[in-house]
Structure 1
Amino acid sequence: MTPEPGSPTDSEVSDEAVRGMVAALEPAWSVESIERSPHGTDFVATLDVRTPDGPRTVVLKATTADLVDPPIARSEPRLFELVGRETTIPVPEVFGYRDAHDDFPAPFYLVEHVDGVNLEDDPESLSPPARERVVRDAGRNLVELHELGPLPAVGSVGVARGELTVLDTDDHPRADDFRERLLADAERTLDVLTEGGYFPDLADDPERFADLVEPVRERLRDAIPELSEPDPPTYNHWDYRYGNLLLDPETGETNAVLDWANLSSADPAYNLAKVEFSLLKPVRDDPERTAELRETFRSAYAEGRESWAFDEPTLERMAVYRLTDRLDAMACLPLWYEDATPAERDERAAEHRTFLAERVPGVDS
């Protein structure tokens, strides 16, 4: 992926560059301290700044990796603004953004700092009522997000001519049928699983899942074309997971939903399946607890959308969507668990195999 002219993507961002980016967005502000985040793939820093109205804490984010195309990365601050304006979903206030810059990595933006904990893969640290609050908030938030649609086509949400849109480019083509896009994406994911996933340079065992590829491919080629007609496409925050939430650790209230830089336009049931995959942990929770949390999530969503029902065709689509979600997680394992021990990576891999063995003929756990 080649960076666009005028959008340098150096991974190292100096203090001078940080101050320059802030000055480009808020000339009257001065940066007093910089705390770089060790997490994520792009540059993120928490800044203490002095403004004409007094001190405040803000967050600066700049696209410095090759993982998200600039037309998609540019959507994040605009989506913060749209969601903040049109819904009650908690998102940070935006102070400014630049789509490109001659001197600094871009796009970049400046938003308010929101208090809260990021639990990544540790929801078990929440009390049972707090965890229920997280999934209930998720259901209610997705209602509001989905009702911002429908959108004109299936595809990737990005920016063209300065406006949010469903992109229609060679790199990000639109699709008429979500099922066709889903199968094509799944085929590509299966192809990379034979050589270490999306991040082969980080894979300690590139052939970890290679034996699963053909049985899963056969299953999806049979199942996806037979799915019922998807609902009209709408905004999908498909990466709505603990790692992209800032939570009150005592109550489970969601203080902010983050990572809006890679939304898709898709069947809302796909988003629901993705979030269930991310927020429910059936391998680590017992079946009864998983069922309780799933019911909490679905009830919150159904209560907010009068025209919605978790009917049999929708549930069948969601079951297949969860299977494709699992493939994405398998392909991301080298990145998500880069700092994990070999035993922890093996444990996650075993969870994936158990899931597939229960759903795909020819797969052994």
Structure 2
Amino acid sequence: MDEVPEARAIPDSTLREVVESADPAWELREATPAERGFCSVYRLAVADGDTTRRLYLKASPDGRDWAVPTEARIQAVLRAHTSIPVPEVVAVTDAHETLPTPHYLMSALPGEEVAYERVGRLADDALERLARETGQYLAELHSVPAVESFGHARHSGPELTGERPAGDPADLTVSEPHDDWPTYLRERVDPELDRHADSRFSDLTPELTRWFEAGIASLDGPFDPVLGRNDHGLHNLLVDPETGEITAMLDWGYTLAVPPAYDFEFAVYLFGGAFLSGLADVSDRRSLVREAMLSGYRAVAPNRAESVSTPEPVYEALAMVRIMNDFEHLDLPDGTEPAVMDRIRADARALLDR
């Protein structure tokens, strides 16, 4: 796995060049760095005649790809072919002699950034709405005709220098494509189990390894590759936390081509808050989330809903393993880590004992 860099600071003079390369009539008025992952992200106020545009710049931190160009194309496809609330991509620059690239400019959307862990404390009605809308948007995403094999989503369209991407699904492809889903799934599980052996839950690694081997072997197809969001969590959304309305789905660089059920199960586990239910004031709401997501999914894609209707423990377990692997990144109240770990371990044990 590539070592993740730190976001680099971009001088105001360079930010002005980025804005003017997208549209010479635009003038940068204000720029503020935003804390969003390891890429360099800036909130921009741009004068466009008598109006002010609110934009975001997202740039590679070190000149490497980091799926930044693909993310821009995916958002353009979703904007053109679905109702998923994604920012409008107004300019992409894949390579440049002096500017930090790859980068793209996108419109700002309304909504509040909410901490990942707050999912456990949303009111039931707000969580239900968030889950239902997630189901609707996943049904739309899974219906985009863009991939025919499994793997990381990538783009195959023309290189851009300050232009808008076309928003054509034909511009999306898959890197190192796999036709056999169980084979590709093993390639995803094995590195996570390697990480798990170095985690605080390493006592479970040998049993999980045997369990996954048997579980993957018993998966029953056929398997239909679709675009899968995969990187679920409140941290990648803008929402109204009082109502649960999703106003933006952000960060599409981790998009994979997977079966619909894989993507669905990850969302159920992460939005259901089971990994936080060791806290005294948090409950496991997977059932509420699953029912609401299925309702939303069926409303949009009734002919595909059967593919996500039956829970698949293998996919849920992988979501659980990833939480265990990144446990130290959870923002938990002081003194609660042991209780949360005990609950996650008990949840894993329940899967192993099925």
Normalised to the residue count of structure 1, the TM-score between the two structures is 0.83
Distance 2:19 2:339 in 1: 43
Distance change in 2, residues 1:36/1:320 (3 Å)? same
Q: Does 1:25 align with 2:22?
A: yes
Corresponding residue for 1:76?
A: 71
> Is residue 249 from structure 1 mapped to residue 252 from structure 2 by the alignment?
no
Q: How does 1:245-324 map to 2 (within 5 A)?
A: 245-282=237-274, 284=277, 285-286=282-283, 289-310=285-306, 315=310, 318-324=312-318
The answer to whether structure 1 residue 176 and structure 2 residue 182 are counterparts is no
- Asked whether the 8 Å contact 1:93–1:111 carries over to 2, the reply is yes
Q: How many Å apart are 1:24 and its aligned residue?
A: 2.0
Q: Give the deviation of 1:309 after TM superposition.
A: 4.3
Deviation at 1:150, TM superposition (A): 6.0
CA distance in 2, matches of 1:114, 1:161: 26
Q: How far is 1:63 from its partner?
A: 1.6
CA distance in 2, matches of 1:39, 1:267: 28
- Secondary structure (helix, strand or coil) at the match of 2:127 reads helix
Deviation at 1:50, TM superposition (A): 0.9
> CA 1:65 to 1:351, structure 2 compared with 1: closer, same or farther past 3 Å?
farther
Say yes or no: does 1:40 pair with 2:71.
no
Aligned to 1:106: 101
Q: Deviations over 1:129-187 (max 9, x none)?
A: 2221111100110111111136211111012353733333xxxx211111111122111
Q: What's the secondary structure of 1:77's corresponding residue?
A: helix
The yes-or-no answer on 1:330 pairing with 2:324 is yes
- For 1:210, give the aligned amino acid: S
CA contact (8 A) 1:75 1:164 kept: no
- In the alignment, the residues of structure 1 paired with residue 113 and residue 122 of structure 2 have an alpha-carbon distance, to the nearest angstrom, of 11
The structural deviation recorded for 1:76 is 1.1
1:164 maps to which of 146, 164, 171: 171
- Matched letter for residue 228 of structure 2: N
* 8 Å Cα contact 1:9-1:105 kept in structure 2: no
Letter matched to residue 74 of structure 1: P
Q: Which amino acid aligns with 2:21?
A: A
1:154 aligns with 2:150: yes
Query: What is the SS of the residue equivalent to 2:352?
Result: coil
2:178 is paired with a residue whose SS is coil
Number of equivalent positions = 336
- The residue number in structure 2 matching 1:136 is 132
Of the structure 1 ranges 339-348 and 147-156, higher mean CA displacement relative to structure 2 is found in: 339-348
Q: Distance in 1 between matches of 2:112 and 2:327?
A: 23
Conserved 8 A contact 1:43-1:61: yes
Identical-residue share of aligned pairs (%)? 26
2:161: which partner in 1? none
Preserved CA contact (<8 Å) 2:146 2:173: no
Deviation, 1:21, is 1.8
Classify 1:286/1:329 alpha carbon distance in 2 versus 1 (closer, same or farther; 3 Å). closer
1:156–1:262 CA contact under 8 A, matched in 2:
yes
The alpha-carbon deviation at position 264 of structure 1 amounts to 0.4
Render the CA deviation track for 1:4-42: whole Å, top value 9, x for unaligned: xxxx99723222222222222222211111111134111
Please say if residues 75 and 159 of structure 1, whose CA atoms lie closer than 8 Å, have aligned partners that are also in contact.
yes
The whole-number CA distance in structure 1 between the counterparts of 2:204 and 2:334 is 20
Q: Indicate yes or no: 2:200 matched with 1:193.
A: no
- The one-letter amino acid of 2:89's match is V
- Higher mean displacement: 159-168 or 216-225: 159-168
Change (3 A) 1:15 1:290: same
Distance 1:117 1:174, change over 3 A: same
- 2:166 is matched with which residue? none
Q: Distance in 2 between matches of 1:11 and 1:292?
A: 41
Deviation larger for 257-266 or 323-332: 323-332
Q: Are 1:59 and 2:56 matched, yes or no?
A: yes
CA distance 1:161–1:321, change in 2 (3 Å): same
Using the TM superposition, give the Cα deviation of residue 352 of structure 1 relative to its aligned residue in structure 2, in angstroms.
Answer: 2.9
Shift in Å, 1:225: 1.2
Counterpart for residue 89 of structure 1: 84
Matched, 1:229 2:221: yes
Q: Quick one: structure 1 residues 111 and 208, their matched pair in 2 at CA, closer, same or farther if it must change by over 3 Å?
A: same
Q: CA separation in 2, counterparts of 1:345 and 1:131? A: 24
SS at match of 2:112: coil
Paired residues of 1:186 and 1:327 also in contact (CA < 8 A) = no
CA 1:344/1:20 → structure 2, altered by over 3 Å: closer, same or farther?
farther
TM-score by length of 2: 0.86
The change in CA–CA distance for 1:342 and 1:128 in structure 2 (over 3 A counts) is closer
Q: Does 1:350 align with 2:324?
A: no
Change (3 A) 1:2 1:239: closer
* Alignment check: 8 A CA contact 2:148 2:225 kept: yes
